[in-house]
């Protein structure tokens, strides 16, 4: 899902000399308009006919791309699972445990799409602390009435995705675990059968302040979630 750390995670993967992950290729609507166009696009990638800035001249041990759940993956899951099995494709599911943090990131990114706070340009990811500080100044206002239904919907979607693809060769990761425990990156490389390397990224985290400092109407949010199964999202869940 968007704003779950997938951009950062993909840069880590692409820092490996034997990995070519070609980005969010299904963000282009024509490539996902039906299952035929989806298969045609995947064939290009897996037949090694897809060239992007991630393409390596060295021997490629793993080639792939980033795919958001709302880019045709869920609608055509049966055919995609069949394709994955036929071609022995491995899937890495990356989710975020703290869905409130994700929501703040989604709202902030959406705001910047119009506001373009960085010298009139929109950036979903940044590479300097100065840029991160500028973007982090914006505090979204969360609709407290719709908060729980929206969090519930996101949780249901992730559960459904894992259920759909449970028969494929896959691994489920959480952003918080990657931040807290870098041995998780070793597990990922083992899963993809890669020679072990130290993975790096130039990306800088945007939201580092406590959650209470990131939302305009924090008290409304706190009241809405306190005492519910989502109350744990109010507390810090990893060190920044």
The distance of Cα 82 from the centroid of its chain, to the nearest Å, equals 23
Residue extents of the structural domains in the chain:
6-234
Write out pLDDT tens, residues 65-95: 999 999 999 999 999 999 999 999 999 999 9
Write out pLDDT tens, residues 89-138: 999 999 999 999 999 999 999 999 999 999 899 999 999 999 999 999 99
d(CA 240, CA 234): 16
Write out pLDDT tens, residues 6-44: 999 999 999 999 999 999 999 999 999 999 999 999 999
Measure the CA angle with vertex 114, ends 112 and 119; round to 5°. 65
Coil/strand/helix, residue 21: strand
Q: How confident is the model at residue 51 (pLDDT cuts 50, 70, 90)?
A: confident
pLDDT for the residue numbered 54: 82
pLDDT for the residue numbered 237: 57
Pick the CATH number of 6-234 from 1.10.3470, 3.30.70, 3.40.50, 1.20.1510: 3.40.50
Measure the CA angle with vertex 88, ends 82 and 90; round to 5°. 95
Q: How confident is the model at residue 56 (pLDDT cuts 50, 70, 90)?
A: confident
């Amino acid at each position: 899902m968007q704003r779950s750390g997938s951009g950062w995670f993909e840069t880590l993967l692409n820092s490996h000399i034997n990995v070519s992950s070609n980005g969010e290729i299904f963000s282009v609507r024509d490539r996902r308009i039906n299952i035929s166009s989806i298969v045609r696009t995947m064939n290009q990638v897996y037949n090694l006919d897809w060239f992007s800035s991630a393409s390596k001249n060295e021997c490629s041990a793993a080639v792939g791309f980033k795919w958001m759940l709302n880019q045709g993956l869920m609608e055509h899951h049966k055919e995609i699972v069949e394709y994955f099995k036929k071609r022995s494709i491995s899937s890495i599911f990356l989710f975020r445990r703290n869905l409130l943090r994700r929501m703040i990131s989604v709202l902030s990114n959406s705001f910047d799409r119009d506001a373009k706070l960085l010298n009139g340009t929109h950036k979903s990811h940044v590479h300097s602390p100065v840029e991160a500080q500028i973007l982090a100044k914006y505090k979204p206002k969360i609709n407290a009435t719709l908060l729980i239904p929206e969090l519930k919907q996101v949780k249901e979607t992730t559960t459904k995705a894992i259920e759909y693809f449970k028969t494929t060769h896959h691994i489920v990761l959480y952003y918080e675990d990657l931040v807290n425990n870098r041995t998780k990156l070793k597990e990922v490389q083992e899963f993809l059968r890669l020679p072990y390397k130290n993975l790096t990224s130039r990306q800088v985290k945007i939201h580092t302040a406590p959650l209470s400092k990131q939302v305009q109407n924090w008290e409304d949010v706190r009241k809405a979630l306190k005492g519910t199964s989502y109350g744990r999202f109010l507390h810090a869940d990893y060190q920044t």
